[in-house]
Amino acid sequence: MLMQARLETVDCPCCESDGHRHWASENGYAAVKCTGCGTVYIRERPRAEDISAAARDGVHPTEDGTLDQRLRRQGWKVPFYAGIVRRFFDGEKDLSWLDVGAGNGEFVEAVQRALPDAKASGIDPMEVKVARAQQRGVPITTQTLEEVTGSYDVISIINVFSHVPDFQHFGGLIRARLKPGGSLFIETGNGGDLPSRADYPGELLLPDHLTFSGIEQMKQTLGRLGFGRIEHFSRRTDHPLWAVKQIVKSILKGKPKLVLPWTRKFRTVFYRAYLDG
Ligand SMILES: [Zn+2]
């Protein structure tokens, strides 16, 4: 089914410049690189109201039909993220923690595992995922961030940043729900630091992903939101098992190609941004 997506034009979500050059095309959308700050983003993109409907349903209109993002729970993420949480928060007691865009709940489970005395919960717009997480006893609801009334020591957004149409607005909602001295915890790729599309592993998932930040761009974005101190940790994703999977995928697609481990500039980056107490 061909769906006609209505578009709007936006300037750089980080520095608000309109200077840009073409970076990549996918699914009928173009990602551009800001010539001011380096952020990669979709300039001609689905309109905000269509984006929020898509986030709720997990389906995005594209030229080729639809791009389905209703992914299933991935159990390996629980021990993986538990390790990441310990790296940043080990020894911190009784944290109240809200995970925004909690999906199937793996990250909430990871916080529970890493910090047994933390009070961790999550919200996600996708009803199918929330229902499944609740069946497993993971405390996730379909509340929106606007509807959240509590105040938290930590609010996390794990691979959510790229999906957010207006991060200054969204970040403001988060800031208002953090206690003084609280932290925003983010995972997102370093797409804005990559010289070319070829450095990005796999699909860009346009237009589901709207913005690809680099490390300095993220610090600038968080600084504008009033976060003072920012710690970050970059992690490679091009390990040998990943390379083998890419080779197998390319063979299955009928376009075999050699993929080498430890050669890509792509990183997944974790940020802990502290709200001034
Ligand atoms: Zn920019």
Ligand 1 center from residue 271 Cα (angstroms) = 20
Over the chain (277 residues), the average pLDDT of each successive run of 10 is: 73 97 95 97 90 67 58 89 98 97 96 98 92 95 94 97 94 96 97 92 90 97 96 92 89 90 91 92
Token digits of residue 20: 């840009």
Ligand 1 center from residue 270 Cα (angstroms) = 21
What Cα–Cα distance (Å) separates residue 50 from each residue in 1, 2, 47, 113, 221?
17, 16, 5, 36, 24
Opening angle at CA 168, ends 176 and 19, nearest 5: 170
Ligand 1 center from residue 245 Cα (angstroms) = 34
- Whole-prediction pTM value? 0.90
Ligand 1 center from residue 136 Cα (angstroms) = 42
Ligand 1 center from residue 44 Cα (angstroms) = 15
Ligand 1 center from residue 192 Cα (angstroms) = 10
The amino acid present at 265, given as its one-letter code, is K
Contact 169, 112 (CB under 8 A): no
Helix (H, G, I), strand (E, B) or coil at 58: coil
CB-count exposure of residue 173 (10 Å: 0-12, 13-18, 19+): middle
Ligand 1 center from residue 81 Cα (angstroms) = 30
Token digits of residue 183: 């932290």
Q: How many CB atoms neighbour CB 3 within 10 A?
A: 13
